[in-house]
Amino acid sequence: MTTLARTGLGPGHPPVASAADAAGRAAADSVRRERAYGARNYDPLPVVITRGDGSWLTDVDGRRYLDLMSAYSAVSFGHSHPRIVAALTEQAHRLAVTSRAYFNDRLPLLLERLVALTGLDRALPVNTGLEAVETAIKASRKWAHKVKGVPDGQAGIIACRGNFHGRSIAITGLSTEAQYRDGFGPYPPGLTTIPFDDPAALDAAIGPHTAAFLVEPVQGEAGIVVPHDGYLARCAEICRRHRVLMICDEVQTGLGRTGRLFGWQHDGAMPDGVILGKALGGGLLPVSAFVATDDVMQVFTPGDHGSTFGGNPLGAAVALAALDVLEDERLVARSRELGLWLLDELKGIESPLVVDVRGRGLFIGIEVDAAKATAREVVHRLLARGILTKDTHGTVVRIAPPLNVPREALVWAIGEIRAALEDLEQGVLRVA
Ligand SMILES: Cc1ncc(COP(=O)(O)O)c(C=O)c1O
C-alpha cells in the first residue's frame, strides 16, 4: 500500500454496502440525466464528481482522485482555494454585477494589475477565453485598418496549424482540426494557418494586409507541443519587421503554468497583445482579458465592443485574489521547480508504450505509441487508480496538476502512472 493510501490521501474506498449502493445509484442517475437532457458535445470519463479540495476531487461514491488536469489550467490554484473563496463570498455579498454602464471599485484594480504583470498598457476584460481571442482578433483587424492603413475588410490573421483558440465561428475558421470545422462553415475570409515552430513560414506568409500573428507559446490541445528555444523571439522580430502584431494566447499557458509567469518569457519575446483566461478566474469564475499596447487598444471607442458580464466586480475581486495567491504562494517558481523534477521522473519511466515525454513547468504530455495503445486507455487505467487526467489528440496524456499540488502527491502519482502503463502493457500483450 502506498504512503498516500495509508494516510488516507490516496483514493478512498467506497463506503459500506447500502451507502455504496445509494451512491452508485446517484452516480448512475447523474450520468443518465446528463445523457438524456444534455447536448452530446462532450464525452466525459465515467466518474461523477461532487467535491473539490486543493488538488483532490471526490466522486459521489466517496472515492478520492488526484486532479492532474486542473480543468485545462482553470484550476491552477487548486479547488476551492480558501482565500479565493473568501474573496468571492465577501464580494458576492457586497456587489456582484453592474455591467460596464457604470464604474465599479474592483475592476480598475484588476486592470492596473494586469497591465503591471504583462508590461503592456491597457486591458479589456471579458468572460471566457474565446471572447478574449475574439477581442484580440477584432482589435488587430481594426488596428490594421485604422493605424496600418489596410483597406477595410481586408485585414488578415495568421495562426498556427494544430492551434486551439476556442470555438466561435471566426476562431473555428482558424482551426486545422477537421472535426472542429465540420459542418459549421462558412468561415470569415482573411484567416491563414502556417506550421507551428517555423519562423520562416511566418515570414513567407505575411502579406501587405496581414494584421496579426496569433500563437500559443506551447500548444496545449495539440498535445503539449513545445517549440524550439528562441521561436517566439524570432517571430516577434519578423512581426516587427513587417509591422504585424504578435498576439500570444496565454489562456492555458499563462499565470505560471509553464514555469514562467507567461510562456513568451521563456524566449524573452515581447508580444503586442496577450490573451489571458482560465486560471485568472481562480478556479471559481470565468474571467478573461485581452491586454495590449496603447497603439492597439486605442482603436476601441465606446460602443465598439463589450460584454454584459465582462469586468464585473465579482469576477474582478476573484481574479485579484487569484493573482495574490499566485504571488504569495510563489507558484510560478513552484511550477518551474516541480515541473523540471516531474518531467525528469516521468522521462525515467521505462515503458514500451511511451514514445515521448515533453513539457514546460507543470504542463507535461506523455505520448503513447499509437500502434500499441491509445491515450484514452491510459487515462481509464489512471482513473481506476485514483488519478484524473485527460487524453488529447488520441495519443497524448496531459499532466497538468494545480500549481500548488503537494510534492508527495506527485511522488505517489508517478508510481501510479508507472503501474497504469504496466497494466496496459500486459493487457496489450495478452491481446497480442
Ligand atoms: C489556448 C486556448 N485559447 C483559448 C481557449 C478558449 O477558452 P474558453 O474555453 O474559456 O473559451 C482555450 C481553451 O481551452 C485554450 O486552451
Q: What is the pLDDT of residues 386-395, one digit of tens each?
A: 999 999 999 9
Helix (H) or strand (E) holding 173: helix 169-174
Give mean pLDDT, residues 213-240.
98
Q: Is the CB of 393 under 6 A from ligand 1?
A: no
Q: What is the pLDDT of residues 333-369, one digit of tens each?
A: 999 999 999 999 999 999 999 999 999 999 999 999 9
Order of strands, edge to edge, in the sheet holding 354-359?
A: 354-359, 364-368, 396-399, 390-392
**Does the pLDDT of residue 2 top 60, yes or no?**
no
DSSP SS3 for 410: helix
Q: What is the 3-state secondary structure (H, E, C) of 249-306?
A: ECCCCCCCCCCCCCHHHHCCCCCCEEEECHHHHCCCCCCEEEEECHHHHCCCCCCCCC
- Cα dihedral 320, 99, 250, 237, rounded to 10, equals -110
CB 71 within 8 A of CB 251: no
Question: What was the pLDDT predicted at 7?
Answer: 32
Q: Is the CB of 129 under 6 A from ligand 1?
A: yes
- Nearest Cα to Cα of residue 366 among 429, 407, 424, 406: 424
User: Environment class of residue 275 by beta-carbon count within 10 Å: exposed (0-12), middle (13-18) or buried (19+)?
Assistant: buried
Query: Which of 262, 278, 300, 390 is an active site residue?
Result: 278
Among 130, 224, 275, residue to substitute to test ligand 1 (most atoms within 8 Å of Cβ): 130
Q: Are strands 364-368 and 396-399 parallel, antiparallel or unpaired?
A: antiparallel
Question: What was the pLDDT predicted at 4?
Answer: 40
Peptide bond into 199 cis (omega under 30): no
Q: Which CATH architecture has domain 82-328?
A: 3-Layer(aba) Sandwich (3.40)
Q: Which of 10-19, 20-29, 354-363 has the lowest mean pLDDT?
A: 10-19
| Euclidean distance between CA atoms 382 and 21, whole angstroms | 23
Among 69, 278, 363, 398, residue to substitute to test ligand 1 (most atoms within 8 Å of Cβ): 278
Q: Is the CB of 220 under 6 A from ligand 1?
A: yes
Atom 3 of ligand 1 has which residue's CA nearest to it? 165
User: Environment class of residue 160 by beta-carbon count within 10 Å: exposed (0-12), middle (13-18) or buried (19+)?
Assistant: buried
Q: What is the pLDDT of residues 69-120, one digit of tens each?
A: 999 999 999 999 999 999 999 999 999 999 999 999 999 999 999 999 999 9
Residue ranges per domain, the chain?
A: 2-68+331-431, 82-328
Q: Estimate the crossing angle of helix 375-384 against helix 407-431, to 10 degrees.
A: 120
Helix (H) or strand (E) holding 180: helix 178-181
Whether 278 is a known active-site residue: answer yes
Q: What is the pLDDT of residues 126-148, one digit of tens each?
A: 999 999 999 999 999 999 999 99
Q: CATH for 2-68+331-431?
A: 3.90.1150.10
**Does the pLDDT of residue 6 top 80, yes or no?**
no
- Nearest Cα to Cα of residue 219 among 396, 404, 417: 396
In one-letter notation, the amino acid at residue 169 is I
Global pTM reads 0.94
**Does the pLDDT of residue 226 top 50, yes or no?**
yes
- Nearest Cα to Cα of residue 273 among 226, 220, 317, 236: 236
Q: What is the pLDDT of residues 270-320, one digit of tens each?
A: 999 999 999 999 999 999 999 999 999 999 999 999 999 999 999 999 999
Atom 13 of ligand 1 has which residue's CA nearest to it? 166
